[in-house]
Amino acid sequence: MTDTKTSETAPKKGKWTRRAFIGAGVVAGGALVIGVAVRPDNPVERLSPMVARGKGEQLINAWVKVDADNIVTAIIPHVEMGQGVFTSLAQMLADELDADWSKVRILEAPADAKYVSHDIGREFLAPNLEVPAILEPTVGGTFLQLATAMNLQITGGSFSVRGTGQRAMRVAGAAAKEMLIAAAAEEWNVPAGELRAENSMILHDKSSKSAPFADFAAAAAEQGLPNKPKLKSPKDYKLMGKAMARHDIPEKSNGTALFGIDADLPGMKYAAVKAAPVVGATVESMNVDTAKSMPGVLQILNMGDFIAVVADGYWQAQQALGTIDAKYSKTEGDTLNQDALFARYASVLDEAGDEGGDVETEQGDVTEAFANAATKVEAEYKVPFLAHATMEPMNCTAWVRDGKCDVWSGHQAPLMARKAAADTLGIDTDDVTYHNAYLGGGFGRRSENDAIIMATRIAKATQYPVKMIWSREEDTMQDHYRPSATSRFQAGLDKDGNAVSWSNIHTHLFDPQEAPTVPYYNIANHKIRKIDVPTHLRFGPWRSVDHSQHGYFIESFVDELAHAAGKDGYAYRRELLAGSKRHLAVLDKAAEMSGWDKPLPEGHGRGIAFVPSFGTIVAEVAEVDMTGAKPKVKKIYVAADPGFAVNPDGFAAQMESSIAYGLTATLYGEISVKNGAVQQSNFHDYPILRINEMPEVEVGIINGDHKRLGGAGEPGLPPLAPAVTNAIFAATGKRVRELPLSKVDFA
Amino acid sequence: MTVLFRAFAPILVVTLAACGSDPAPGPTEQIVVRESGTEAPDSDATSPAAETNDSLIAAGKAAFNTCIACHVVEKGGANRVGPNLYGIVGQAAASVEGFNYSDALTSSGITWTKEELDSYIANPAARVPGTTMMAGAITDTGRREAIIAYIEDASAN
């Protein structure tokens, strides 16, 4: 369903030269920068002390610049980790500006508080807050303060396009256009209303006059900031909604793209690291006799929680590290085993009974409804810990000298990374320059600061630039994991099979808060509870966060209800969604695309699942072949309503990659602990989906509401696992209540 | 590409407490083997003058550092990236138990005489095309001789 025919040539990314990459990390000067405030009547005096740290800094978001050659640069306050966000955000800005796409350049915003993504703070603090105008001076201002204070220059939560793009990049583009037109109107002495912009030109149709943006850029910067720049309605979109080619394809194809791991500095040395296998333990002693005499070795550091070997080359550092025998302190975590952990979940859930735990949502009276139900259904599901396994292993380069520090990495929240480095050293954030590069995969892993802190500590000890690279083993064993979890359900059906009560209790709730809830299903009584069962392992957000497990739990259980009611999974969900037009349209589209009613060959099965998350409604149908020794996922049909797909090709690509990532977890993903340490270490025991295992994917997009955009990076993932396991049930009658599938015996 | 709601609370705490935050601890143990900027001793250049057998073995032990990341020479010692070299002199190639050899070495038919070892260590890929010993070649004749002497001596223990 992706429209590749309209694909246009990609704009070039503003080139970070090698020098710029290792240099100052600020927007290159020279060009005219049009400052565009997202908050027009900005109480600058009040906010400046909080957010404008440096001399001469003003509280404006400078997101558009125009240079003398009429090149428009969109400055993007998010990071690129393969999700294509640079292109979509530039499309939004350039469309509102009526810029010539072939002359649009893209620059990643520096790690500076001015580029903070304050919408993230807004949504996280008050997700249900409805603000009528796109510009909310008061609300926005408050959140800008908070977000800045929290160092939230974050790329996450499938948020960039629907948040920053919709509320900031479009506004910035529209405002810049109005300012350019106002400047041209003064210069030509005509009413602004007679002017329009097209292809980076200002046109006066009456006199047939035209001139490039560049001619007015300087005067435009002097204009007052428009109070309410007028945004286009969809019929006037020129770039939004089109499959513009991604700007980063050429450099990622020819190998010139620079990732964090490519940082290169004169005199730079390399560090290999090994952390205590049990998180929380410290290195009590290390035998370095062999390592000391190995080629290239410069320093061996016992950092307490980890050992680092610094050498001329990375291979040398890693080899020397491999010869070090270390003894670690005993910790409480040492006794933890995976089976015991699941047993602990079970006993905690048993103890909670019908009333224990923290209530997350409650409606009606589940106890009574369940007691009176004609049919009662109960089930328990389990999922393991999951690692992120980014293609680029964790790494960070740091150089500490003269009370200042430079840090190079690829991080999802550059300002947080900068602050982490500053706090590590006990210096001011102003004394830290953070240089961000492309991320070779993020998925939430690169929102953690552990690698930044480790590299900064090593660099402080050496005083020369050091590039720390984790081995794949460290990457797998020292992750911040998607939690392992157990979830139990009880539901009551009336005599017609309609669900009348829905109770759920599960271990952990991380985020988003709505992940375990099902407000879109018509069930009169529900009660959803959680219980935290802490372990010493570190939890971290993993693509789609809690939706990753709750999507599987909920949609498996709904399928069990359908079966108990003697109904088909698609028809049953239709009833549950009755009255919700947008939801139904998505479900229907997935069913229609898959030919839901058409017979499949013997031993094959179809399964459906439906999960709205991060503002996007998604339904998936999986076709699975169960005739072999293990399940073969043949095809996935995805129907999705993100409100409006700004770049349909990019959106479809995110659905496809969510399926690759989600199928990896469904088939194989399992991190387990033994004696407190993670048992898996590399791709042989933590496999990633192979290309021959990738199902065919068909994506159908519904643009259901152009005013409310949804995310793209994550929502494709949650329905995948249950669509697959429901298909397995359809084919074999075997219900999978524990992932991954590699543990299940289908013989 | 993922949500940071969770990060919210802890970061706020950190931010509010940041004024008094202590820097992270430095190393509890810092072993400086060599300063940056000073060159590593060029071990290839210091070919041992093999006067006595003892000094030859000592030199071989030092030179064996090139191999130690991948090999041990220890009775019953574990295989690493490469097999345990205990007793290798005179042994048939690819015969250490439990090691997953390349087909190339397995089918080489070599018996590890000192001469064969010398030519393999000088250039593994040239002697056995397709071998998976990707690093560790020693160009210096004297050092190869010393290493072989050391392996033989260590195997006698």
pLDDT digits (tens, 9 = 90+) for A100-136: 999 998 877 666 665 565 555 555 444 444 433 333 4
Better pLDDT: A168 or A252: A252
Residue A265 placed within a domain: no
What tokens were used for A303?
């950092």
A303, A400, A428, A544: best to mutate for the B interface, most B CBs within 10 A: A303
Nearest CA to A448 out of A546, A538, A543 is that of A538
The Cα–Cα gap between B34 and A401 comes to 19
Nearest CA to A227 out of A175, A191, A185 is that of A175
Q: Do B24 and A154 touch (CB under 8 A)?
A: no
Query: Which of A218, A236, A254 marks a domain boundary?
Result: A236
H or E element: which one contains A557? helix A547-564
Chain A CA closest to residue B39: A296
pLDDT band (50, 70, 90) for residue A404: very high
Residue A430 placed within a domain: no
Better pLDDT: A487 or B2: A487
What is each CA distance from A741 to A63, A442, A545, A609, A731, in whole angstroms? 47, 25, 20, 17, 15
Residues near A710 by beta carbon (within 8 Å), at least 6 away in sequence = A158, A162, A614, A615, A616, A617, A641, A642, A643
Q: Residue A635: beta bridge partners?
A: A623, A696
pLDDT above 60: residue A577: yes
Residue A541 placed within a domain: yes
Nearest CA to B73 out of B8, B2, B154 is that of B154
Residue A473 placed within a domain: no
What tokens were used for A79?
């990071």
B156 touching A (Cβ < 8 Å): no
pLDDT above 80: residue A7: no
What is each CA distance from A159 to A79, A153, A175, B13, in whole angstroms? 12, 12, 22, 24
- Residue A659 sits at φ, ψ, to 5 deg, of -70, -40
CA distance B73 to chain A (A): 14
Q: Do A267 and B65 touch (CB under 8 A)?
A: no
Q: Residue A202: beta bridge partners?
A: A197, A211
Facing B33 at nearest CB: one of A81, A149, A292: A292
B30 touching A (Cβ < 8 Å): yes
Nearest CA to B72 out of B88, B57, B59 is that of B88
B19 touching A (Cβ < 8 Å): no
pLDDT digits (tens, 9 = 90+) for A288-319: 999 999 999 999 999 999 999 999 999 999 99
DSSP string, chain B: ----HHHHHHHHHHHHHGGGPPPPP--SEEEESS-TTSPPP-TTT------SHHHHHHHHHHHGGGTTTT----TTPPP-SS---TT-TTSBTT-STT----HHHHTS--B--HHHHHHHHH-HHHHSTT-S--S-----HHHHHHHHHHHHHHHT-
CA distance A437 to chain B (A): 16
Determine the 3-state secondary structure of A503 from DSSP.
strand
- Contact predicate A153/A77, CB 8 Å: yes
What is the extent of the structural domain holding A578? 485-743
CA distance B12 to chain A (A): 6
The Cα–Cα gap between A326 and A329 comes to 10
Place of tokens 């990896």: A664
CA distance B109 to chain A (A): 31
B2, B134, B143: best to mutate for the A interface, most A CBs within 10 A: B2
Instruction: State residue A396's pLDDT score.
Output: 98
Angle at which helices A170-188 and A214-222 pack, to 10 degrees? 100
Instruction: State residue A122's pLDDT score.
Output: 54
Instruction: State residue A397's pLDDT score.
Output: 97
Q: State how many domains chain A has.
A: 2
Q: Do B27 and A302 touch (CB under 8 A)?
A: yes
Q: Do B1 and A155 touch (CB under 8 A)?
A: yes
pLDDT (mean) for A649-666: 98
Chain A CA closest to residue B9: A150
H or E element: which one contains A617? strand A616-625
B134 vs A contacts (CB less than 8 Å): none
The Cα–Cα gap between B12 and A146 comes to 9
pLDDT (mean) for A174-179: 86
Q: Do B27 and A544 touch (CB under 8 A)?
A: no
- Asked which of A14-23, A110-119, A195-204, B19-28 is least confident by mean pLDDT, the reply is A14-23
The Cα–Cα gap between A164 and A121 comes to 11
Residue A591 placed within a domain: yes
pLDDT band (50, 70, 90) for residue A443: very high
The Cα–Cα gap between A691 and A595 comes to 25
Instruction: State residue A148's pLDDT score.
Output: 55
CA distance A10 to chain B (A): 23
Q: Residue A168: beta bridge partners?
A: none
pLDDT above 90: residue A153: no
Query: Which of A181, A215, A236 marks a domain boundary?
Result: A236
Q: What is the pTM of this model?
A: 0.78
Residue A538 is part of a domain; what is its CATH number?
3.30.365.10
- The DSSP secondary-structure symbol of A30 reads S
Chain A CA closest to residue B13: A150
Better pLDDT: A467 or A85: A467
Better pLDDT: A30 or A280: A280
The Cα–Cα gap between A640 and A620 comes to 9
B28 vs A contacts (CB less than 8 Å): 283, 302-304
CA distance B154 to chain A (A): 16
Residue A254 placed within a domain: no
In this structure, are strands A375-383 and A201-204 parallel, antiparallel, or unpaired? unpaired
What tokens were used for A114?
């001015």
Facing B3 at nearest CB: one of A301, A424, A512: A512
CA distance A482 to chain B (A): 12
Facing A124 at nearest CB: one of B8, B28, B36: B8
- Contact predicate A245/A8, CB 8 Å: yes
The Cα–Cα gap between A743 and A492 comes to 30
pLDDT above 70: residue A594: yes
Query: Which of A236, A257, A286 marks a domain boundary?
Result: A236
H or E element: which one contains A468? strand A466-469
Low-confidence ranges of chain B (pLDDT < 50): 1-20, 42-51
Nearest CA to A725 out of A583, A622, A581 is that of A622
Residue A181 placed within a domain: yes
First to last CA, chain B: 58
- Contact predicate A101/A94, CB 8 Å: yes
Instruction: State residue B52's pLDDT score.
Output: 63
B33 vs A contacts (CB less than 8 Å): 292, 297-300
Residue A179 placed within a domain: yes
Chain A CA closest to residue B62: A293
- Contact predicate A516/A492, CB 8 Å: no
- The DSSP secondary-structure symbol of A539 reads B
B26 touching A (Cβ < 8 Å): yes
The Cα–Cα gap between A372 and A365 comes to 11
- Contact predicate A92/A134, CB 8 Å: no
Q: Residue A606: beta bridge partners?
A: A623
Cβ within 8 Å of A, B 126-145: none
- The DSSP secondary-structure symbol of A655 reads H
What tokens were used for B149?
């002497």
A78, A145, A162, A300: best to mutate for the B interface, most B CBs within 10 A: A300
What tokens were used for A101?
């796409």
E strand map for A494-545: 499-507, 525-531
Arithmetic mean of pLDDT over chain A: 86
Categorise residue A545: left if φ over 0, alpha if ψ from -120 to 50, beta otherwise.
left
pLDDT above 60: residue A688: yes
Better pLDDT: A435 or A673: A673
